[in-house]
Chains A and B, each alone.
Chain A
Amino acid sequence: MKDNMLEIINLCKSYGNFELSDVNISLPRGYIMGFIGANGAGKTTTIKLIMNMIKKDSGEIRVFGKDHVKYELYIKNKVGYVSEQPVFYENQTVAWNVNFAKKFYDEWDDALFEDLLTRFNIDSSKKINQLSKGMKMKTALAIALSHHPELLILDEPTSGLDPIVRDELLGILMEFIQDESRSVFFSSHITSDIEKIGDYVTFIDNGRIILSEEKDKILDEWKIVKGDINLMNNYKKDLIGLEQTRTHFKALVKDFDAFKAKYDISSLVIDKPTLDDVLLHLTKKENLR
């Protein structure tokens, strides 16, 4: 049996017009899961529910196999959380914020924090409101890493960062899981980041999980097929997220080996999909019930 760091079962939450329904996610120890969805799809709500920052309507959330409400303090001691807009006391210095936060953690490591500050080139005497977005993100990450978390939960950490900082941040996440005892749950609408470092991918659209799978399996087994519009009806039943022009069609195929065995594909153009392609085709209206 897999040792799941995070397990979400039939999670539901409604907010006015928005509804998160029957969310199911499992993240095994030692892996990075990318949580992909458009803005407003329900990524932040799901993460806030995991962190018990909002109350769920129904369902179960287990972190390290423990209920996230009953064992909230235990879990928060072992989870490093970074939000899209890192939150601190903005009018205070980095050092003040850290001195305040570290008192609540059982395993805070001052030496590790100092190392991370040096590595990230953060001046701890600066006020938080004097830092750039990238520096704030690095400060939040340094705090999140300095209490030796087993699970990192990151909500859109790369959004709005320049490519160099983004790349640096992804490198840190890769390092974090090197010993295979820790995991990362990482939401983003930038699929290329998840393509770089994710082991598992979960797609959410309009409050529903539309796919949760190993990334390599998706990229190996799923294909983009393109062909003449006149041939489209031959394949239509097995095409996902069909796009049509006057002359051609383009769609996603889920199990390409089975598709290949079933149809003559000699007149089709086959491409390897990106996660962006998969997201775009899966979220086309005709696929959603």
Chain B
Amino acid sequence: MMHLVMKDFYVNKKYILIAVLYLGFALFATENLAPSLIFALAISYGIVTRSCFNDDKDRGSIFLRTLPIKASTIVISKYVLGLIIIFMNVLILLLFSLIKGNGLESYYGSISMVVFTLSLVYAIYLPVFFKYGYMKATTFQTIFFMGIMLFSFGFGALADIIQSISIGQGQWIKEALVNFIEMIPKNSTTLMLITCLVAFIILAISTVISLKFYNDSSA
């Protein structure tokens, strides 16, 4: 398993080096975390997709199938790669908190965001990759996220609609939304732990789907 993960890190070595150099610079030179966070997310997505690209491009995935490796090991190794990258992102955030001298708790929101976003990205990307290959998976992911962005523009309009609903009319929608918001824990530690748990459940479900797709696919 670890040979496969190490191989994926090796084929991404230039990419990772650039990321480390940038984050090292950002760590000391900037106060604002947001640009570095977005950069780290982009690089994290890129590392997994590039490892898939390398497997797909030169028929490396066929090479793997000729070796004595279990199908489940090949599939799970990609998720392990994703988890290691998520863990590295969390470590970088902790390092930020230490160097900047801010309290750790102020980074819980960022940690939750990083863990959840990357888990969701990997959970959607990898099954499509194991079913259809790199090109289709990347196209699908791009369309999917563009769709989400377009959909998110509609949130403002949705809020306006809810605001304009007069009392009595559609009261249940308001109540349901308020109840949902009240269910979200206010404690940032609990919120972070719940977010991580949900993210890992999503990844686990995605792994099962990828295994099914990989076993059914042809080399």
Interface size class of A (residues with CB under 8 A): 20 to 34
**What residues of B have a CB within 8 angstroms of the CB of A128 in the complex?**
58
Question: In the bound complex, do residue B60 and residue A88 qualify as a contact, i.e. CB atoms below 8 Å apart?
Answer: yes
Question: In the bound complex, do residue B60 and residue A104 qualify as a contact, i.e. CB atoms below 8 Å apart?
Answer: no
In the complex, besides A51-B66, A76-B68, 14 extra interface pairs with C-beta distance below 8 angstroms are A53-B218, A76-B67, A77-B68, A83-B62, A85-B59, A87-B66, A88-B63, A89-B7, A89-B54, A89-B63, A91-B54, A91-B58, A97-B63, A103-B3
Scoring B residues 49 to 87 as 1 if CB is less than 8 Å from chain A, else 0, what string do you get? 000001001111011011111100000000000000000
**What residues of B have a CB within 8 angstroms of the CB of A229 in the complex?**
none
Interchain CB contact (< 8 A) of B67 among A83, A104, A129: A104
Interface residues in A64-85 (C-beta closer than 8 Å to B): 72-73, 76-77, 81, 83, 85
A55 at the interface (CB under 8 A from B): yes
A90 at the interface (CB under 8 A from B): yes
**What residues of A have a CB within 8 angstroms of the CB of B63 in the complex?**
87-89, 97, 101
**What residues of B have a CB within 8 angstroms of the CB of A52 in the complex?**
65
Scoring B residues 181 to 219 as 1 if CB is less than 8 Å from chain A, else 0, what string do you get? 000000000000000000000000000000000011011
A48 at the interface (CB under 8 A from B): yes
The residue in B54, B57, B63 that gathers the most chain A C-beta atoms within 10 A of its C-beta is B63
**Cα–Cα, bound, A55→B68 (Å):** 17
**Chain B contact residues: over half helix, strand or loop, or mixed?**
helix
A269 at the interface (CB under 8 A from B): no
Scoring A residues 93 to 116 as 1 if CB is less than 8 Å from chain B, else 0, what string do you get? 000110011011110000000000
B148 at the interface (CB under 8 A from A): no
**Cα–Cα, bound, A96→B68 (Å):** 18
- Given contact pairs A48-B219, A54-B219, A103-B3, A76 touches B66 in the complex (Cβ within 8 A): yes
**Cα–Cα, bound, A81→B63 (Å):** 10
From A15, which residue of chain B is reached at the shortest CB distance? Answer: B218
- Given contact pairs A55-B216, A100-B7, A103-B3, A87 touches B59 in the complex (Cβ within 8 A): yes
B18 at the interface (CB under 8 A from A): no
Chain B residues with a Cβ under 8 A of chain A: 3, 7, 10-11, 54, 57-60, 62-63, 65-70, 215-216, 218-219
Question: In the bound complex, do residue B68 and residue A104 qualify as a contact, i.e. CB atoms below 8 Å apart?
Answer: yes
Question: In the bound complex, do residue B65 and residue A90 qualify as a contact, i.e. CB atoms below 8 Å apart?
Answer: no
Chain A residues with a Cβ under 8 A of chain B: 48, 51-55, 72-73, 76-77, 81, 83, 85, 87-92, 96-97, 100-101, 103-106, 128-129
**Cα–Cα, bound, A149→B11 (Å):** 29
From A144, which residue of chain B is reached at the shortest CB distance? Answer: B66
Question: In the bound complex, do residue A54 and residue B218 qualify as a contact, i.e. CB atoms below 8 Å apart?
Answer: yes
Question: In the bound complex, do residue B58 and residue A81 qualify as a contact, i.e. CB atoms below 8 Å apart?
Answer: no
Question: In the bound complex, do residue B68 and residue A105 qualify as a contact, i.e. CB atoms below 8 Å apart?
Answer: yes
- In the assembled complex, 27 residue pairs joining A and B whose CB atoms fall closer than 8 Å, in A order, are A48-B218, A51-B65, A51-B66, A53-B219, A54-B218, A55-B215, A55-B216, A72-B70, A73-B68, A76-B66, A81-B66, A85-B59, A87-B59, A87-B62, A89-B11, A89-B54, A89-B63, A90-B57, A91-B54, A92-B11, A96-B10, A100-B3, A101-B63, A103-B3, A105-B67, A105-B68, A106-B68
From A54, which residue of chain B is reached at the shortest CB distance? Answer: B218
Question: In the bound complex, do residue A89 and residue B218 qualify as a contact, i.e. CB atoms below 8 Å apart?
Answer: no
Ranked 8 nearest A-B pairs via Cβ: A76-B68, A90-B58, A53-B219, A87-B63, A54-B218, A87-B59, A87-B62, A104-B67
The residue in A81, A103, A129 that gathers the most chain B C-beta atoms within 10 A of its C-beta is A103
From A52, which residue of chain B is reached at the shortest CB distance? Answer: B65
**What residues of B have a CB within 8 angstroms of the CB of A91 in the complex?**
11, 54, 58
B68 to chain A, nearest CB (A): 4
From A100, which residue of chain B is reached at the shortest CB distance? Answer: B7
The residue in A55, A72, A77, A101 that gathers the most chain B C-beta atoms within 10 A of its C-beta is A101
**What residues of B have a CB within 8 angstroms of the CB of A83 in the complex?**
62, 66
